[in-house]
Amino acid sequence: GIQVEQSPPDLILQEGANSTLRCNFSDSVNNLQWFHQNPWGQLINLFYIPSGTKQNGRLSATTVATERYSLLYISSSQTTDSGVYFCAVEPNTGNQFYFGTGTSLTVIP
Amino acid sequence: ETGVTQTPRHLVMGMTNKKSLKCEQHLGHNAMYWYKQSAKKPLELMFVYNFKEQTENNSVPSRFSPECPNSSHLFLHLHTLQPEDSALYLCASSQVLAASSYNEQFFGPGTRLTVL
């Protein structure tokens, strides 16, 4: 099946700093999503972004499908941004989503 | 209720017990999923139901038995589980728009299961 790799695996930021999280995938995809998993386990939808660029407040995402990667930008980070960020992709062959290993983000005051 | 709901939120059971997890989606979607998330691991897809028909079963042991009575409800029946089955069980739903394309998924809050 498709391989989904996220980097970095762990990230510690000072409040107010910016960061970029990366998701690489090994095959062509129909769909790609970014999620934030909070400390209670809830997965929160951030972006549904099979291609192009989207922005939502301090967060933005870019997917370059032809080069098989997606980036999640977090600007002016806040302590509430802490948690694990996952990307998930649906390959062109369809039938299911595959999740990456996640980036664990800790924002310290 | 809005979105995707799951009950119970926490469950502790012995290896000889039988229990069920319930998921309900209020989004009008036609596909539902069960995922397992073990500690410090990514989500693993267990089952997919598309228009109430099971379309994926990723080599899940038979001690996990899914049921989808309609497009809004999904159950996971548990029996004779092992301690290594302790995990966060997440339900999701999406709207299938075309063949083999599952579109954006929305997740419930999960059931944290502990098997003693």
The tens digit of pLDDT for each residue in A5-36 reads 999 999 999 999 999 999 999 999 989 999 99
Output the pLDDT for position B53. Answer: 73
What's the CA gap between B6 and B9, in Å, rounded? Answer: 7
What's the CA gap between A101 and A73, in Å, rounded? Answer: 18
Burial class (CB in 10 A: 0-12, 13-18, 19+), B91: buried
Q: B90 CB near a chain A CB, below 8 Å? A: yes
Contact A94 B99 (CB under 8 A): yes
Mutation pick from A47, A95, A98 vs chain B, by most beta carbons of B within 10 Å, is: A95
Q: Residue B100: which pLDDT band, with cuts at 50, 70 and 90?
A: low
Output the pLDDT for position B98. Answer: 65
Mutation pick from B2, B33, B100 vs chain A, by most beta carbons of A within 10 Å, is: B100
* A29-79 per-position pLDDT tens digit: 989 999 999 988 899 999 999 999 999 999 999 999 999 999 999 999 999
- The yes-or-no verdict on residue B102 having pLDDT over 70 is no
Closest Cα of chain B to A34: distance in Å?
Answer: 10
